[in-house]
Structure 1
Amino acid sequence: MSHTADDTAEIIEDGDTVRLASGIGPGDLAVARSECGQYLLITCSDALVAMYGAMGGSVEAVEFADGGSYSVEELLDVIGEA
């Protein structure tokens, strides 16, 4: 997995899009569910980031560093639910 110079991966929420740094791909993502709804899990090196409200909430798309992107519905089809 690629990282920025300070050895952190960048995850940016830009309006309705989550932009992921180089080295984070669909295999690093999962969707989980709680009583509050679905949330996006992002594995980033040894860290796990949970974005509550990202799936079916304020986020409409996830964009990867290579320019590929998925809508929430497409992403759910690709990665499934944890």
Structure 2
Amino acid sequence: MAYHEHGPVDPKIDEGVRRPFLNTPAGFALCIFLAVAGVFLWVDHRAHVLGALPLLLPLLICIGMHFFMHRGHGGHGGKSGGRDER
């Protein structure tokens, strides 16, 4: 009886290549589960989420301003430290 393999023609082709997690069956199942869970959470807790928006929007604005406005002086731990170095 002859032996034949049902895999790729050259086994070295797929040896060092790993598929991204989302392209695996487990990754696809996780995406579907998270989507269904998100829909159920939105339907059941819509009032809580919409009630928290007035509190969350200023927080997100503050975080965004902090992130984008630190570009001007080099972030925390700048070289000058507020003193004039001549």
More strand by percentage: 1
Please state which band the TM-score falls in when normalised by the shorter chain: under 0.3
Q: TM-score with structure 2 length normalisation?
A: 0.15
More helix by percentage: 2
* Larger RCO (alpha carbons 8 Å, 6+ apart): 1
